[in-house]
Amino acid sequence: MNVLRLTSLVALAFFATFAQAQSAAPKELSALLASQAAAEALTTCDKLGHKVSVTVLDRNGLTRAALKHERATPHTLDSSRGKAYTIVTLGPIFKKDLQSELVAQLAANPAAAALANVPGILLLPGAVLIKSGDEVIGSIGVGGSPSGMVDESCAKAGLEKIASSLK
């Protein structure tokens, strides 16, 4: 009887630990959500008359979705990726969710200029972090409008499109 209780107790402890580990697993950015965010950002900029490209990255800087307006200029896809990569890489370090805030903070620190030499970093406004609660799960970068702040407003629209699915 004691062996049965002990076995049951061990099994219960195992399953409780397993269940806790399952709930603690980080949320991932699905391809579907990334595509929805990218489409919304592209559409928002298009309605404003801007032909842009949008890149959505996961927390590791890997591309989950990328869209280029058929009339966007060639550099815009690289620009959108650089912005998305910069905010997903440096945003958590400097505690910034918006690329414009990150760029402003770094501009105030002359030593931070060296970050521009890190491969893949593009210190221009136009990207937002994607979070699930307080956890960074990705980023949206937009490139191609005449202003990084317009790019960033389109990225925000993409984030707003998927916000209810991130909770």
Structural domain including 99 reads: 27-165
**pLDDT tens column, 44-88:** 999 999 999 999 999 999 999 999 999 999 999 999 999 999 999
Rounded-to-integer distance, Cα 131 and Cα 21, Å: 20
Report yes or no on 123 lying in a domain. yes
For the beta carbon of residue 6, count every other beta carbon within 10 angstroms.
Answer: 10
The model's pTM: 0.85
**pLDDT tens column, 76-107:** 999 999 999 999 999 999 999 999 999 999 99
Rounded-to-integer distance, Cα 136 and Cα 165, Å: 14
Half-sphere exposure at residue 68, Cβ-oriented, CA atoms within 13 angstroms = 12
With both helix axes pointing from N to C terminus, report the angle between 31-47 and 148-162 in degrees, rounded to the nearest 10: 140
Instruction: Report which of 124, 135, 122 is spatially closest to residue 26, judged by C-alpha positions.
Output: 135
**What is the token pair recorded at 124?**
């221009």
CATH code, 118: 3.30.450.150
Report yes or no on 127 lying in a domain. yes
Report yes or no on 22 lying in a domain. no
Instruction: Report which of 114, 42, 56, 115 is spatially closest to residue 85, judged by C-alpha positions.
Output: 56
How many structural domains are present in the chain?
1
Report yes or no on 103 lying in a domain. yes
Report yes or no on 101 lying in a domain. yes
Report yes or no on 8 lying in a domain. no
Report yes or no on 97 lying in a domain. yes
- The residue ranking higher by pLDDT, 128 or 111, is 128
Report yes or no on 110 lying in a domain. yes
**What is the token pair recorded at 165?**
């699915």
